[in-house]
Amino acid sequence: MALELKATEFVWKDGEFIRWQDAQVHLLSLAVQFGVSLFEGIRCYESEGRRAIFRLGAHIRRLYNSCIVYRMPPEYSQEEYAQACVDVVAKNRLDSCYIRPMVIRGYGAAALDPRASPIESYVACWPLDTYLGAGALEKGVGVKVSSWQRAEPNTFPMRAKAAGHYNAAMLMKMEAHADGYADAIALGPNGLVSEGSGQNLFLVVDGQLITPILDGTSLQGITRDTVLKLATEMGIPASEQLVARETLYTCDELFFSGTATEVTPITSVDRIPVGSGKAGEVTLQIQRRFMDIVKQRAEDPYGWLTPV
């Protein structure tokens, strides 16, 4: 299933609002030519008329770090980008939505020294339903181990969230869909488990939560960090480990974590059922706690929510 963009009215661009349809860049901007675009994906949740953006500060910090890695000094402060996210949701009168800040290299440079291309900042937002399809959060999804693997560390800097990296993610996603799976899990160059096409991964083995270590082949997910913190709070032992592919088939439970994906149970890998073949208990417990906080059904003891 392909998710389609739902157009909204306004996009924030460099300190002002422009119309959605005017958010255009030139064909020869470096963003288009070479994929020079750093971005974030953030969710705003609505519940009983109260809107809140989840872990906004952490996302903007990661955007900043991506800019440092790619030598693209951002034009605005972290506070200004965060405010732009709040403002664009309010301006579009959206309730729950997905927010996409982007810092890109525009038009000017002809080749690989980008300095003649200005740095431009945008924040767009649009409504986004359950990322892996209706029922995915409750029933879970089937995935495959991708034939595409993650890039070797020090090739693409995978801790940076850069548009170009997502060509590989799309290869994984397209292959998964072509083969009848909801998504894919990728191995790293060492043959060990890395992450999903756009999600981090957790296993449950004997009541313990395990997530692959951050070995330079994956993104340091903010939802991953959230799950680790919630596990601590809930008394579930959690650790970061090297994860061998075969563990995916033998673990008791498996789930994805990500901003778009939220906490989605994985019920089979390569058509081998995981555990009972149903969404796991520990997974659903963590998912419930996560949803209770983001949807403001429970207190937010971590200060993770920014009201809109």
Q: Catalog residues that contact ligand PMP under the rule CB under 6 A.
A: 41, 169, 195, 198-200, 218-219, 221-224, 257-259
* DSSP3 helix / strand / coil % (the chain, rounded to 5): 30, 30, 40
What is the separation of C-alpha 115 from the centre of its chain, rounded to a whole number of angstroms?
A: 29
Closest CB 224 distance from ligand PMP, rounded Å: 6
Cβ atoms of 263 and 137 closer than 8 Å: yes
Which of 57/108 has CB closer to ligand PMP? 57
What positions carry a catalytic annotation?
161
Alpha-helix residue ranges (DSSP H) falling in 50-92? 56-69, 78-91
- Put residue 206 in one of left, alpha, beta given phi > 0 → left and psi -120 to 50 → alpha: left
Which of 59/105 has CB closer to ligand PMP? 59
Q: H/E element holding 39?
A: strand 37-39
Radius of gyration of the chain (CA): 19
Closest CB 159 distance from ligand PMP, rounded Å: 10
Which of 222/284 has CB closer to ligand PMP? 222
Which of 51/150 has CB closer to ligand PMP? 150
- What is each CA distance from 263 to 97, 226, 227, 259, in whole angstroms? 17, 10, 9, 9
Closest CB 15 distance from ligand PMP, rounded Å: 25
Dist CA 248 CA 73 (whole Å): 40
Closest CB 285 distance from ligand PMP, rounded Å: 19
